[in-house]
Chains A and B, each alone.
Chain A
Amino acid sequence: MFHFLQQARHWRMKRELNRLHIELAGRFDYLRRASRCRTQNEFNRLHIELENILTPLELAGIAKLAKTSTSPEPSRLWLERIQKWKPELFESPQGYERRSFSRHVTLYQNPKGDAHDKGLLVAFSGDARRLMMPISVFLQFVDSRKWDVVVLKRGSRNSYLLGLDSIVTDFHGLVEYLQTTFTPAQYRRVMTLGTSSGGFAAAWAAFLMGADRGISVGGGPPRPLPALTTGDQPAPDGVDLCYVYGMDCPQDHQAALSLLDIFGGRLRPVPDIDAHGVLSRLLKSGKLAEFLDEMLA
Chain B
Amino acid sequence: MTDKVRDILLAAVRAGRNGFPPEPPIAQAIADGSRELTIDQLKFDSLAWMEFCISVELQSGQELTPVDIDGMQYVFQIEEWLRSRA
Q: Tell me whether B19 and A158 are in contact (CB under 8 A).
A: yes
Q: Tell me whether B65 and A40 are in contact (CB under 8 A).
A: yes
User: Mask for A35-46, Cβ within 8 A of B = 1, else 0?
Assistant: 000011110110
Complex interface residues of chain A between 37 and 90 (CB less than 8 A to chain B)? 39-42, 44-45, 48
Give Cα A129 to B57, complex, Å. Answer: 22
Please name the residue on chain B nearest to A130 by beta carbon. Answer: B47
Please name the residue on chain B nearest to A127 by beta carbon. Answer: B18
> Does A173 touch B at the CB level, under 8 Å?
no
Q: Which residues of B have CB within 8 Å of A48?
A: 47, 50-51
> Does A128 touch B at the CB level, under 8 Å?
yes
Please judge, given known A-B contacts A39-B63, A40-B63, whether A128 and B54 are in contact too, CB under 8 Å.
Answer: no
Q: Tell me whether A128 and B65 are in contact (CB under 8 A).
A: no
Q: Tell me whether B47 and A158 are in contact (CB under 8 A).
A: no
Interface size class of chain A, counting residues whose CB lies under 8 Å from the partner chain: 10 to 19
User: Mask for B46-86, Cβ within 8 A of A = 1, else 0?
Assistant: 01101101100100000111010000000000000000000
Q: Which residues of A have CB within 8 Å of B19?
A: 127, 158
> Does A210 touch B at the CB level, under 8 Å?
no
Q: How far is the CB of A210 from chain B (nearest CB, A)?
A: 31
Q: Which residues of A have CB within 8 Å of B6?
A: none
* Residue among A39, A41, A277 making CB contact with B45, cutoff 8 Å: A277
Q: How far is the CB of B23 from chain A (nearest CB, A)?
A: 13
Write the residues of chain B forming the contact surface with A, with a CB cutoff of 8 angstroms. 17-20, 45, 47-48, 50-51, 53-54, 57, 63-65, 67
